[in-house]
Structure 1
């Protein structure tokens, strides 16, 4: 019970405060949500990724293990989401948004604080979460954008269009400058930090604004299926991987908790940017975040029991 109170007070409540502010502002001033999404994609997310990759400290061995887990986990989720989409007769652009809602989970402004709370700032556990966050961002801004664009402009144009995205160059710059231990001058590092620190706030405000424009549909079966896969089947798949490869301790527990996060806010942001069922994406993010108050708490409890 105490664990639930901590998560609600320290993790969930701050997230919903910012969402409510975005909701109220949208209702009062009728902002251009498309502009908010573009600010996220073209400025704040690249800045956030650059800073996190530049600051990250982890060994090649740890990165390799988490990378292999991530590839296997995402592959299994992809198969489950595609089977579900067929059963629900979800097609074309909506199918891409549905799949993205399952594959992309909130490793940053939700996963990082949860990790910090559960493991009490353990640097090893946080390194695992940072690697998952990095891989999620790379995957989101490669496959995630490609899947949405390819529906309307075709696969070749979608692939070429990705190279216009600043997030690609932010990732490359962050990794290379980190690897080469290059110090950045303050006139670069200070504004980069300002941008990175604003990303979470703007993303949550954007989600709140999207929610304010939502028209909840009577048929929510697709949303429910997304929640089941993301919040229940996802952690169960991770448990299977953990036992199959004999993982244990903090490493296993951190992976299990990381896999239990709700749908990424940025999946709704890119759906808004590319106008691919943004209401559907925002509904999933909203309900996924709400339901995670229960499921994430249970996963934390199970992780502590098993590992």
Structure 2
């Protein structure tokens, strides 16, 4: 079997099957995506991050290089999206929407399972670092872009720092560095919650996509999708190879940069009335298109 087909079947099909299940059962069982999403945001994701960071064995220089590459990718991608929007004569709202979808990849409920299937569970600690970095930076840049007429970057940064998954990172690192051992009951409880994160997030993604309705593909949707699926991973690839990261670490970082637009970006757009139809359609379009772009990327890696 050709390598591309094998990668698609073994790595991406399991992910899309669970997303498809959520897409199918959501409307039929009248499951509200918001409740599942909030559970993942406040419970499952923090437990997952605590579990992997408290036992991760990652070299500090690798972590710094990965974080640096992803921070620079977010800033450069956002800046280029801003320039493109202005050059095309788009207004402030459309330009901000392009920035939002360009910088905010679905590194959680899509990226983590793809990395797991592509690189194995040993890649999860680094994927978790990428998850935290992308979410913090994308939330800061995305919310700032969405509210630049009525809020401040400082407020957006403060909101990003209060993300539950980020809050548990510090005690998790302290447990790791201090070589501490949690009580068995606590360790098992956290483990059970952490193990539930990926399937819950994938089901939630499917339910959220089902609620979006039929998309209208415009030039701006294709443009934003190109920034998210092509430009962002290309920038990350140049950065990580320039930083001499080992191939596996570089691969995890690039793949996380190549994720489709995050569903949470549509929530931000709706909350701030930021061309929600454009953002939501881009989320759906990039999720479908990523079946092809991720398969091709994994072959190249």
Counterpart of 1:36? 36
Unaligned runs of 5+ in 2: none
Relative to the length of structure 1, the TM-score reads 0.78
Aligned equivalent of 1:14 = 14
After TM superposition, list the pairs within 5 Å mapping 1:215-230 onto structure 2: 215-230=213-228
Structure 1 residue 9: deviation in Å?
Answer: 1.9
- Secondary structure, aligned partner of 1:201: helix
How many Å apart are 1:116 and its aligned residue? Answer: 5.0
The Cα of 1:64 is off from its aligned counterpart by 1.9
Q: Distance in 2 between matches of 1:270 and 1:186?
A: 39
Cα contact 2:101–2:224 (8 A) shared by 1 = yes
**CA–CA distance in 2 between the matches of 1:156 and 1:116?**
35
- Residues 112 and 198 of structure 2 are in contact (CA less than 8 Å); yes or no, is this contact kept in structure 1? no
5 Å-filtered alignment, 1:171-182, equals 171-182=169-180
Instruction: Please identify, of 163-172 and 227-236, the stretch whose mean Cα deviation from structure 2 is larger.
Output: 163-172
- Deviation, 1:58, is 0.3
Q: How does 1:1-307 map to 2 (within 5 A)?
A: 2-87=2-87, 95-116=95-116, 118-119=118-119, 121=120, 123=122, 128-140=126-138, 142-144=140-142, 148=146, 158=156, 161=159, 165-242=163-240, 244=242, 249-268=247-266, 280-303=278-301
What is the aligned length? 301
Cα distance change on mapping 1:134 and 1:85 into 2, 3 Å: same
**How many angstroms does 1:65 deviate by?**
1.9
Shift of 1:224: 0.9
SS of the residue corresponding to residue 23 of structure 2 reads: helix
DSSP-derived class of the 2:46 partner: helix
Contact 1:3 1:297 in 2 (8 A): no
Unaligned runs of 5+ in 1: none
- Evaluate the alpha carbon distance shift between residue 52 and residue 270 of structure 1 in structure 2; reply closer, same or farther with a 3 A threshold: farther
Which deviates more, 25-34 or 147-156?
A: 147-156
Secondary structure at 1:74 match in 2: helix
How much does 1:106 deviate?
3.5
Change (3 A) 1:147 1:47: farther
CA contact (8 A) 1:112 1:126 kept: yes
Which SS does the other structure have where 1:216 is aligned? coil
| Change over 3 Å in CA distance of 1:176–1:96 after alignment to 2 | farther
In 1, Cα distance between the equivalents of 2:115 and 2:159? 35
What CA distance in whole angstroms lies between the structure 2 residues aligned with 1:51 and 1:36?
20
Question: Under a length normalisation based on structure 2, what TM-score does the superposition of the two structures give?
Answer: 0.79
Let me know the Cα RMSD of the aligned residues.
Answer: 3.5
